[in-house]
Structure 1
Amino acid sequence: MAQQWLPLVATIWLQSINGTNSNFAAYSSELKRILSLSQLQLNNLAFASDAGKLLGWISGLAGAHLPLWLVLLIGSFLGLVGYGVQYLFLTNQIVTSLSYWQVFALTVLAGNSVCWINSVCYIIAIRNFPLDRQIAVGLSPSYVGLSPKVYTDVVDVFVAPSNSPSERATLFLLFNSVLPLAVCVVAAPLARDVAIGKSKELSGGFLTLFVITVVTGIFAIVSSLGSMVTRLLLPSKVVLAGMVVLLFLPLVAPLVEKIREKVQRKCSIRVYNCGNNNNNNNKNNNLEIDDLEIGKMETIVGIVEIGAKVMLRKVEFWLYFFVYLFGGTLGLVYMNNLGQIAESRGCSGTSSLVSLCSAFRTKFVLSRAMAMGAMIVPMCGAFFLVAISKQDYSLYSSTAIIGICTGAITSLSVSATTELFGAENFGVNHNILVSNIPIGSFLFGGFAAFLYKRERYLGEENCMGERCYQTTFIIWGSLCLLGTLLALILHARTKKIAHN
């Protein structure tokens, strides 16, 4: 039992520190200042952070043919180099100065590192829980949204939010480089697919994990509010300690499942001893239960396994691709630009916004195409709200809405990929899907940078005011409407799969 659950707990830990891309907004302004970048060049760096996903299919192939612990270490080493050299550059510990294109290449390398860790997490969930595959593959990605919150809590212990933005930026890069490596080394012995004999539904353990995930999300939200009262009641060290405890709580899931099995076994023995059923009937009942489990297993295995080449020729894939592009990817582009958005509106709490956004991304949601469309609708309203309102509350509330919807879509997409195209080629198929993230980052972010530059007053170095991103938000909100329409079409075409 523990052999089956511990790898899943390891994936929760890995995903909790694997959202390093989401931290870009926390140090982007510092890179812009040191490298004297234009807004378009800064956007290209945000694109580079996502461009590593274009090569994510390599990690999918590696996960299918290499030991999972080795795939983990490769991913963490790429992140160590990509983020670590940038940290040394920002802290003047490199003798020769890095050029813009060298920083670009390092950012691509760092962005690719997360694909390797993600691939391991998905493979473990799919192989270890064949009867609860959709729940398992949807669970650990929900913790990716917690990652920026974890990094913010760690940085807050060393540097107060009111301290130098430059010092905070360098610390984010430092922890981006070393924290994934440390966790990967700890999780590597647990990261393996377990050969299980007779598979069972593990409802008790997953219910426990669901409750823990919700509690973790609530704690993350409360501790991210940033008010003076919150900081007095929850000092940074207390917040970090609480987060660590919550991340270790999933270890109780196998214990709960074990207790549930023992209770069921005792109940079965009592029924048997009461003589309500003879031995033959009891055997027949066991056979019926086994038949139900086997029948459900056959339903899962019966999902058509589709390779990458066939998938790319299917209309459902391209509908799915653009639903994600106009939903989850738009949310990630918003997060990448959060530093500049906050600066243009005169809001100094960039790291608080990043933390708030990530806290709301930890909600645990499972569903399919229709639910993805439902998650895009609030994003549309959030973009329009922040476009028409000048108040800080609109920025914070819209950021929270976009954060929770982006996290939900990310979680849903992992489950939807297996439902639509099977699990056998998941590592490659899903990495092809998420290639829309760098595409969206380049297109949406580039156009936002162009509008930002156009809105600057003559002689103004940086654009200031809500006008800087107003047109951008209106366009993004309209694209969300289109994404919702495409989700409805996808739902209509995949009803049979959705009802299996």
Structure 2
Amino acid sequence: MALQWLSMVGAIWLQSINGTNSNFPAYSSELKRMLSITQPQLNNLAAASDAGKLLGWLSGTAAAHLPLWIVLLIGATLGLIGYGIQYLFLINQISSLSYWHVFLLTVLAGNSICWINTVCYIVSIKNFSLDRQIATGLSTSYIGFSAKIYADIVDAVAPNSPSERAKLFLLLNSVVPLGVCILAAPLARDVHVGKSRKLAGGYICMFAITVITGIYAVITSLGQKILRFLHPSTNVIGVVVFLILPLAVPLSEKIRETLQQKCLIRVHDEGASATSMENGANVEDGENLSKFCEESVEEIGVKLMLRRVEFWLYFFAYLFGATVGLVYLNNLGQIAESRGCSGTLALVSLSSAFSFFGRLIPSFHDYFFAKSKYMISRPAAMACMIMPMCGAMFLLVNKQDIWLYISTAIIGICTGAITTISVSTTTQLFGTKNFGVNHNILVSNIPIGSFLFGDVAALLYNRAKLSGEDNCIGQKCYQTTFIIWGLLCFLGAFLGFILHYRTKKVVIT
């Protein structure tokens, strides 16, 4: 079991650096200035990172035929090229890049995220097959920690110049994932463990570490002005400590296994009896699996999946839910600038921290309420998480900065939760055999929504700005956009509930 937890630690490290696309608001204004582009063109760059998901199925196909460490290195290399060349452009080492060059590089960088995500999902599903929702939620929650990690490093290293900070973000985006992929590749692998439920102590410990990490992220994000006495490098040290802490779980498990092995050697007869008791316990575990794990799930291929009404309900519920939230977060830099809010980086860090908790909520719920009357289906859970986003979008119509922070936190937590819920929804509706391809086809709605919803927002932004001005300033810039996004979220929740009623005999509640 120590190897199981070690594989989760590897997935945690990979996810913690894999949110490079969430850093786009931190350097978007600099790209806009360097390329001399319009707001719609800038929005298309934001969507280009998501457009890489259109080819995400390639990572799923590769993972089915190649060792996971090779899949990781391919993803990291794509990111190194995509972000690295943009970095060289910002520091004037490359002067011949056009807008379309940057667009294609951003697509490439966005696709790199799919490769790393696919490995993390496969590790969680295979190594924790009886608790895949819990394991996936624990590991993927750390992608919400990603923007926080990059922001803290930039705060500690870069001067106050926005230009220098933008350059450093792109540099980190290009080299950090490669370094961590090399470090985590030996850990993030299929360890071929048996199906046992004797992981309760590890889950409790991992939950505690993850919750404390999330609290740290929220406090340091909200308290940047309050905690001025702390040097920025202190936050970086804190981040490193909290990323090392999960190693305590496999380490303690290894110590327990070693001590148990010694006891079995000393008392051979009692060891044989204990082995028999353990086998009996495993049988009992198998008989008492939670309902959502004991149900046999039909394995469905891509062609059959695309012919099912349930897939399209799922696709559009996600499109009008999590994807709308991601579009909002991609435009956070421009939204803050239009409202005259100077805390763009704080907002990015805040959304990241609350996304961290959002991704953890489904795992927490499944672990503690799996057999209770409070357990609801995945589609219903998705719909319930979309509904608060409706209110958050309408709150943004208010021009006070406090509502910008509150709404960003709500959208971050709900978007993160839906992202985690979708992983187990895909496996329960369509099985695990073709998960790598099936799920990447589902999330292809993200680039579609990014272009569609983002372009509408950009057009409304341009219409609201005064003649002759480069940027739109004022509440009017995004007011109509927020109303449209809120209505789309309402539609997404409605479709989620329809999917729940159509699949409640399939998706265990």
Asked whether the two chains share a fold, i.e. TM above 0.5, the reply is: yes
Q: 1:159 to 1:375 in 2, by over 3 A?
A: same
Aligned residue type for 1:417? T
Partner of 1:314: 308
Alignment of 1:14-33 (within 5 A): 14-33=14-33
For the Cα contact (< 8 Å) 1:131–1:201, is it kept in 2? no
Question: May I ask how many residue pairs the two structures share in their alignment?
Answer: 486
Deviations 1:248-307 (A, max 9, x none): 1111223455678899999xxxxxx9xxxxx8xx96995475154167499547211111
1:242 and 2:238 aligned? yes
Aligned partner of residue 130 in structure 2, secondary structure: coil
Aligned residue number for residue 488 of structure 2 = 479
Q: Which residue of 2 aligns with 1:381?
A: 391
Which residue does the alignment assign to 1:276?
none
Q: Are 1:453 and 1:463, in contact at CA under 8 Å, matched by a contact in 2?
A: yes
CA displacement at 1:132 relative to structure 2: 1.5
Output the amino acid matched with 1:306.
Answer: I
User: Counterpart amino acid of 2:391?
Assistant: G
Which digits, 9 at most, give the CA deviation of each residue in 1:342-375, with x for residues without a partner? 1100112211110111011111121611121111
Find the aligned partners of 1:396 and 1:285 in 2 and give their Cα distance.
Answer: 51
In structure 2, relative to structure 1, the CA distance for the partners of 1:286 and 1:20 (3 Å cut) is closer
Q: Report the TM-score when normalising by structure 2.
A: 0.90
Structure 2 stretches lacking a partner, 5+ long: 263-268, 367-377
Residue equivalent to 1:269 = none
Over the matched positions of the two proteins, sequence identity in percent amounts to: 66
Cα offsets for 1:441-467 (capped at 9, x unmatched):
000000000100111112222110010
Counterpart Cα distance in 1 of 2:249 and 2:78? 32
Q: Distance in 2 between matches of 1:496 and 1:258?
A: 41
In structure 2, how many angstroms separate the alpha carbons of the residues matched to 1:170 and 1:440? 28
- State whether residues 204 and 257 of structure 1, in contact with CA within 8 Å, keep that contact through their aligned partners in structure 2: no
Alignment partner of 1:220 is 2:214: no
2:321 aligns with one of 327, 347, 357? 327
Aligned to 2:408: 399
Distance 1:198 1:411, change over 3 A: closer
- Aligned with 2:382 (options 372, 375, 386): 372
RMSD of the alignment, in Å? 2.5
**Quick check: 1:465 aligned with 2:458?**
no
Give yes or no for contact 2:196–2:282 (8 Å, CA) kept in 1.
Answer: no
Q: Give distance in 1, aligned partners of 2:468 and 2:12.
A: 49
User: SS state of the match for residue 462, structure 1?
Assistant: coil
Give CA deviations for 1:48-102 in whole Å, capped at 9, x if unaligned.
11100000000001111101111101100000000000000001012x4201111
Q: Given that residues 130 and 199 in structure 1 are in contact (C-alpha distance below 8 angstroms), is that contact kept between their aligned partners in structure 2?
A: no
Q: Which residue of structure 2 aligns with residue 109 of structure 1?
A: 108
Partner residue of 1:423? Answer: 432
Q: CA deviation at 1:469?
A: 0.1
Q: Are the aligned partners of 1:369 and 1:490 in contact in 2 as well (CA < 8 Å)?
A: yes
Q: Would you say the 8 A contact 1:418–1:426 is kept in 2?
A: yes
Say if 2:196 and 2:285, in contact at 8 Å, map to a contact too.
no
Aligned equivalent of 1:441, options 433, 450, 459: 450
- 2:478 alignment partner, SS class: helix
CA distance in 2, matches of 1:104, 1:287: 58
C-alpha distance in 1 between matches for 2:256 and 2:473: 59
1:207 equivalenced with 2:207 (yes/no): no
1:10 corresponding residue in structure 2: 10
Partner SS, residue 219 of structure 1: helix
Asked whether the 8 Å contact 1:130–1:297 carries over to 2, the reply is: no
Partners of 2:256 and 2:280 in 1: CA distance: 21
Per-residue CA deviations over 1:169-196 (Å, capped at 9, x if unaligned) read 1110000000000100101111210122
Residue 149 of structure 1 corresponds to 148
Once structures 1 and 2 are overlaid, which stretch shifts more, 450-459 or 72-81?
Answer: 450-459
From 333, 337, 346, the counterpart of 2:331 = 337
Give the deviation of 1:226 after TM superposition: 4.4
2:345 is matched with 351
Instruction: Determine the C-alpha separation between the residues in 1 that align with 2:112 and 2:237.
Output: 27
1:290 pairs with 2:289: no
| Distance of 2:248 and 2:347 partners within structure 1 | 32
Please list, as runs of the form range in 1=range in 2, the aligned pairs for 1:72-111 lying within 5 A after superposition.
72-94=72-94, 96-111=95-110
TM-score w.r.t. length of structure 1:
0.92
1:134 paired residue number: 133
Cα offset, 1:490, TM superposition: 1.2
| Contact 1:325 1:436 (C-alpha < 8 Å) held by counterparts | yes
Aligned partners of 2:197 and 2:285 also within 8 Å = no
Within a 5 Å distance, the mapping from 1:255-270 to structure 2 comes to 255-257=251-253
Q: Give me the whole-angstrom Cα distance separating, in 2, the residues matched to 1:244 and 1:443.
A: 38
